[in-house]
Each structure stands twice: as C-alpha cells, then as structure tokens.
Structure 1
C-alpha cells in the first residue's frame, strides 16, 4: 500500500512538472490577493485550466505500463534522470498525449494572458 502511495505521489509530481513547467511554480505563494484582482471570467479561466491539467494528468497516468511505473519508483536516480528515462520510454501515443496536453495548456495560457488588462500585468 505504501509503495502505491509513493508511486502515486511520484507520478503526480512528475506529471505536474512535465505538464505545467514554471507557470505553476508560484503556486507556493498565497494567490488570494492576485485572484482578487482578476475578473470573474479570468478566475474561471484559471479554474478551467487547472481542471484540464488534472484531467490530462489522469489520462497519462492511466496509460503507464508496469515498467514505466517501476522507473518512477527508482530511488537510486535523481528526479531529472527519472524524468528523462520515463520520457524515453513513452510510446508514440503517450508522446502524442503529452504534446497535445502541452499544446492545450499553451493555448489556455495565451488566452489568459490576452485577457489581462494593462493594470493586471
């Protein structure tokens, strides 16, 4: 059971890193002052982006093989090495899924950036 939980947390962390990059790095800070400056539409856009990211993460997680899960559990390597090995082990469909997810996130981010007023930037 503990192994499954560790695998799940490792997978979530890896997928978070792969799909979001540095955009969500600032989530460690309190975002409520920033969220208060956003319009209702912009707040909904951010919530939809988060839901999309979580759905995409679940889709990718469902496609992982036992070998790929074993790569995620390998504690002898750094996170960067694990990420490289995992990406190298992806099938064409998994790579397509990741590229599609990254493209969707880029599109939503651009829409959000375009919705910001000069004062919000």
Structure 2
C-alpha cells in the first residue's frame, strides 16, 4: 500500500552522530528543481570521449543538489573549535562528503522516493 504523507511542513531528520537536519518533504517539485542544478547538468551532459560519471558519483551529486534545496537548518554541525555553523550551500556539500552522513541522508531521506520509483517500474 502506498502511504501518502499529506503534511508539507518541514521536519527534523536525524542522521546520527549528533547531526539533525530540518528538511522540507521530498516532493516532485524538489526533484525537478534539483535536476536543474548546474552540477547535475554538467554530470549528465558528457561530451564525446569523456568518461561518464559512475552511479556513485551521480548519487553524491544528486544528494548534494537536493540537500541544498531542502535543508533549512541543522543541529550538531560545527567548525574546528566546535562553534555551531550556519547552514550554507558549501557547508551542506562539506557535510555530505562525510560518508556516514551521506549514507544516512541517502537511506533515510532520498531512498523513499527512489523505492517508489522502482516499484512503479516493476
């Protein structure tokens, strides 16, 4: 059974390691906006003779593009001295370069949309 989430309000997403993100729901509008991200466009428009990005590279690029759209706040993210950092696009990218955080974001946030997409194609 497909369970619809009718709320459009942002909510906290726990990624472990003391990190929480305040994110808006993953919607079609978000995914379409992410497709227009320059990094995604560059990765998908490979010139003849160039190597195509791996699936892992594309997953990382898409996750960052989506996160830059949906993350409005965070907790548990600080600088080298432990001072809390404000959310910025560069900060989001740096956060998602940490493997455990990237993996948690992929499995708890993005995977739900991908599972639905896979089910409709089965």
Give the TM-score, by structure 1 length. Answer: 0.31
Larger radius of gyration: 1
Q: Which has the higher helix share?
A: 1
